[in-house]
């Protein structure tokens, strides 16, 4: 057996994802002749480097333009009509680099700018508030070869849009306050406090944080690790972006507190590639914390506790938000979810005990360490303590970040953000629940509507089939391809839905789609596949008429247009008479 166990990339051996980003940046693609030398430098198999390149959306085998623009295709922060407009202005085809190599344009999954869209990424920078006018200016800047750094700075302004504050956003936390309180007690007592607070994972699954820390602390290993999941990829979610930009101290404090609790000396912040623009800011906060002795060798003067945090940046793969896929990605591999059990708390990063927590969870943990369990538990419901940050977007007056105690009704939230004609709300993003108007009295809490924080609102004028089609395309694009139900099932669901949307679907197609949807949901390997069919199933259950009115009134319709398929033959035989066509 000559397969090496994965090793931690150290300071003298950079991370594969970072190296590939560097190559992509330098050559605008990953040149074939760079792969073997890179594999040698990193002491990885060539096939591993190849497979990573082909897994992540942001790495390409053919050169992208000097200006590479990726338009979000999210229902909240995307506008593909604008993308087509810019393609026309610059005479470029989507996905194909212009022959002079200057520019390439494509679409990408939600980039987390849902409260200030439409938005795009240009060479790792984010531009929001797109308009036809702004696109004309951008086209001029590109044709004039103006470096992106010299484009008007107001293009790159990203707002925080905090509309309602609660426990976390309202309560000040002096730098080091959480850590000082944590280090004043035994780690067992600290874990007890976190358990007492009732804090549950904010990524959506809602596992009790204190228990996770306890299991990890108790697990045997040569090292323990803290990993912050900042791969905020659920369409419609952007609350972690605000915590990363405005509350990074609290986040790193939470990671350090977790490190103390479980006995770890190394933490990783896994940041989604779309948020790469935040790296300089985050690095400066880390440097500041080192100076303040809140990170590094002798934290707060205590010789026996040291902790470091490293930032690893993803490269366009929603699946890496799944914790075990994230760990695979951290280990310089494709982001394919692991078989569980064993769980990361016992066999995580490098097979060692690892705590993987969401950004918001760690911020909350830092506050709880400082303020105590009762402070947190005073808000929320019996099974959902504390508050939740919601990312609200879509058809409402004031999109942005809203913090509420758990247990708030959806209607209350909709009233606050001015969603006066909401017909449907996607709670928890595409992997969550499509809620119809009749159910707006439901509450946001683990007991009822669990949510990682994405609230996408659709008014009466919206075509819900188009929305669900968008989500279904998203999942087919993001499936990692490990298991049969998801790898084959998500593209099949896309085919059925496209057929129905195009007016070629029959009642039989709808029944087959529903049967397949249930199989994908029940039999897939991980959370992606298990939720990918939710939008279709919710649509059929709560809005059956949306699908019904598109159906053909016949028993069977093939998936392809036979007459159109004959077009090549007609051209080759120079025929276009009536008999060369099917009736």
Nearer to other proteins, 89 or 492 (CB): 492
Nearer to other proteins, 333 or 442 (CB): 333
Interacting residue with other proteins among 13, 265, 293, 487 (CB under 8 A): 487
Site residues for other proteins, 338-397, by CB under 8 A, read 339, 341
Residue 485 lies near other proteins (rule: CB under 8 A):
yes
Stretch that binds other proteins, among 185-193, 212-220, 283-291, 490-498 (CB under 8 A): 490-498
Euclidean distance between CA atoms 16 and 143, whole angstroms: 34
Residue 516 lies near other proteins (rule: CB under 8 A):
yes
CB of 5 to other proteins, least distance (A): 12
Interacting residue with other proteins among 200, 334, 347, 469 (CB under 8 A): 334
Residue 36 lies near other proteins (rule: CB under 8 A):
yes
CB of 2 to other proteins, least distance (A): 6
CB of 53 to other proteins, least distance (A): 8
Interacting residue with other proteins among 479, 514, 538, 539 (CB under 8 A): 479
CB of 317 to other proteins, least distance (A): 7
Euclidean distance between CA atoms 180 and 98, whole angstroms: 56
- The CA–CA distances, whole Å, from 70 to 58, 74, 189, 409, 570 equal 10, 12, 48, 36, 38
Q: How many CB atoms lie within 10 A of CB 184?
A: 11
Cβ 186 vs Cβ 196: under 8 Å: no
Residue 476 lies near other proteins (rule: CB under 8 A):
yes
Residue 523 lies near other proteins (rule: CB under 8 A):
yes
SS3 400: strand
Interacting residue with other proteins among 491, 504, 508, 550 (CB under 8 A): 491
Interacting residue with other proteins among 437, 495, 504, 550 (CB under 8 A): 495
Please tell me the count of residues contacting other proteins according to CB under 8 A: 43
Euclidean distance between CA atoms 274 and 272, whole angstroms: 5
Cβ 57 vs Cβ 317: under 8 Å: yes
Interacting residue with other proteins among 102, 223, 488, 580 (CB under 8 A): 488
Interacting residue with other proteins among 186, 559, 569, 571 (CB under 8 A): 559
Residue 478 lies near other proteins (rule: CB under 8 A):
yes
The residue with tokens 């820390």 is 213
Interacting residue with other proteins among 45, 95, 147, 152 (CB under 8 A): 45
Q: Which of 162, 163, 135 is nearest to 151 (CA)?
A: 135
Q: Name the token pair of 74.
A: 């999210």
Cβ 329 vs Cβ 16: under 8 Å: no
Instruction: Identify the helix (H) or strand (E) that includes residue 541.
Output: helix 534-542
- The CA–CA distances, whole Å, from 463 to 235, 514, 541 equal 18, 20, 16
Stretch that binds other proteins, among 118-126, 414-422, 444-452, 518-526 (CB under 8 A): 518-526
The residue with tokens 């026996």 is 304
Q: In 28-131, which ranges are continuous DSSP H helix?
A: 32-42, 46-53, 80-89
Interacting residue with other proteins among 522, 576, 581, 582 (CB under 8 A): 522
Q: Name the token pair of 496.
A: 């059925």
Site residues for other proteins, 425-444, by CB under 8 A, read none
Stretch that binds other proteins, among 102-110, 172-180, 439-447, 515-523 (CB under 8 A): 515-523
Nearer to other proteins, 46 or 184 (CB): 46
Residue 6 lies near other proteins (rule: CB under 8 A):
no
- The CA–CA distances, whole Å, from 123 to 274, 349, 456 equal 10, 30, 27
Q: What is the 3-state secondary structure (H, E, C) of 510-524?
A: HHHHHHHHHHHHHHC
Collect all residues with Cβ–Cβ distance below 8 Å to 363 and sequence separation of at least 6.
168, 243, 247, 250, 251, 254
Length of the chain: 583
CB of 526 to other proteins, least distance (A): 11
Nearer to other proteins, 383 or 477 (CB): 477
Nearer to other proteins, 25 or 522 (CB): 522
Site residues for other proteins, 535-554, by CB under 8 A, read none
Q: In 331-449, which ranges are continuous DSSP H helix?
A: 359-371, 373-377, 410-416
Q: What angle do CA 142, 145, 149 make, to 5 degrees?
A: 85
Residue 91 lies near other proteins (rule: CB under 8 A):
no
Residue 504 lies near other proteins (rule: CB under 8 A):
no
Name the DSSP class of 63: P
- x-or-dash pattern for other proteins, window 288-327, by CB under 8 A? -----------------------------x----------
Residue 15 lies near other proteins (rule: CB under 8 A):
no
Q: Which of 464, 426, 472, 431 is nearest to 544 (CA)?
A: 464
Euclidean distance between CA atoms 301 and 562, whole angstroms: 76
Residue 484 lies near other proteins (rule: CB under 8 A):
yes
CB of 31 to other proteins, least distance (A): 14
Euclidean distance between CA atoms 414 and 459, whole angstroms: 11
Nearer to other proteins, 118 or 348 (CB): 348
Instruction: Classify the phi-psi angles of 429: left when phi > 0, otherwise alpha if psi is within -120 to 50, otherwise beta.
Output: left
Cβ 476 vs Cβ 415: under 8 Å: no
CB of 8 to other proteins, least distance (A): 21
Q: Which of 434, 474, 456, 452 is nearest to 110 (CA)?
A: 474
Residue 50 lies near other proteins (rule: CB under 8 A):
yes
Residue 55 lies near other proteins (rule: CB under 8 A):
yes
CB of 61 to other proteins, least distance (A): 11
CB of 369 to other proteins, least distance (A): 36
Interacting residue with other proteins among 492, 537, 551, 566 (CB under 8 A): 492
Stretch that binds other proteins, among 42-50, 216-224, 257-265, 548-556 (CB under 8 A): 42-50
Number of H helices, E strands in the chain: 24, 14
List residues binding other proteins (CB under 8 A).
1-3, 36, 45-48, 50-51, 54-56, 317, 334, 339, 341, 476-485, 487-492, 495, 515-516, 519, 522-525, 559-560
């Amino acid at each position: 057996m000559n397969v090496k166990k994965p090793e931690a990339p150290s300071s003298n051996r950079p991370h594969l994802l970072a190296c590939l980003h560097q190559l992509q940046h330098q050559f605008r693609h990953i040149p074939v002749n760079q792969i073997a030398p890179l594999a040698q430098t990193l002491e990885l198999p060539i096939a591993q480097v190849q497979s990573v390149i082909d897994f992540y959306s942001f790495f390409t085998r053919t050169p992208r333009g000097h200006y590479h623009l990726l338009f979000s295709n999210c229902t909240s922060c995307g506008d593909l009509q604008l993308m087509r407009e810019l393609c026309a202005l610059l005479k470029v085809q989507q996905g194909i680099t212009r022959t002079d190599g200057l520019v390439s344009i494509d679409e990408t999954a939600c980039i987390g700018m849902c409260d200030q869209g439409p938005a795009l990424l240009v060479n790792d920078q984010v531009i929001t508030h797109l308009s036809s006018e702004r696109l004309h200016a951008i086209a001029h800047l590109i044709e004039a070869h103006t470096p992106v750094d010299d484009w008007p700075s107001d293009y790159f302004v990203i707002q925080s849009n905090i509309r309602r504050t609660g426990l976390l956003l309202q309560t000040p936390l002096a730098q080091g306050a959480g850590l000082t309180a944590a280090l004043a007690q035994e780690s067992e007592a600290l874990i007890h406090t976190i358990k007492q607070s009732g804090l549950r994972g904010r990524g959506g699954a809602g596992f009790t944080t204190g228990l996770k820390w306890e299991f990890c602390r108790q697990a045997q290993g040569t090292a323990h690790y803290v990993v912050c999941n900042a791969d905020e990829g659920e369409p419609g979610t952007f609350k972690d972006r605000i915590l990363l930009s405005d509350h990074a101290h609290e986040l790193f404090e939470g990671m350090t507190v977790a490190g103390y609790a479980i006995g770890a000396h190394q933490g990783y912040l896994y940041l989604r590639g779309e948020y790469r623009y935040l790296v300089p800011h985050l690095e400066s906060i880390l440097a500041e914390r080192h100076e303040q002795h809140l990170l590094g060798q002798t934290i707060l003067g205590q010789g026996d506790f040291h902790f470091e945090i490293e930032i690893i940046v993803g490269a366009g793969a929603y699946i890496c938000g799944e914790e075990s896929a994230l760990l695979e990605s951290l280990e310089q591999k494709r982001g394919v979810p692991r078989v569980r059990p064993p769980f990361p708390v016992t066999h995580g990063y490098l097979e060692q005990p690892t705590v993987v927590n969401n950004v918001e969870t760690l911020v909350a943990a830092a506050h709880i360490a400082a303020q105590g369990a009762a402070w947190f538990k005073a808000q929320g419901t019996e099974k959902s303590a504390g508050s939740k940050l919601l990312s609200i977007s879509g058809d409402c007056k004031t999109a942005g970040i809203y913090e509420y105690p758990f247990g708030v009704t959806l209607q209350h939230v909709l009233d606050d953000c001015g969603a006066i004609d909401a017909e449907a709300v996607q709670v928890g993003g595409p992997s969550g629940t499509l809620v119809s108007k009749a159910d707006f009295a439901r509450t946001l809490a683990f007991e009822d509507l669990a949510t990682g924080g994405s609230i996408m609102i659709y008014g009466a004028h919206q075509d819900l089939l188009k929305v669900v089609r968008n989500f279904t395309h998203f999942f087919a694009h993001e499936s990692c391809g490990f298991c049969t139900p998801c790898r084959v099932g998500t593209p099949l669901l896309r085919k059925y839905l496209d057929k129905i949307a195009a007016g070629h679907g029959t009642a039989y197609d709808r029944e087959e789609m529903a049967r397949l949807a249930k199989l994908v949901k029940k039999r897939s390997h991980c959370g992606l596949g298990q939720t990918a069919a939710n939008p279709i199933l919710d649509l059929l259950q709560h809005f059956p008429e949306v699908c019904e009115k598109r159906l053909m009134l016949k028993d069977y319709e093939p998936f392809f247009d036979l007459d159109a398929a004959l077009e090549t033959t007609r051209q080759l035989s120079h025929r276009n008479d009536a008999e060369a066509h099917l009736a």
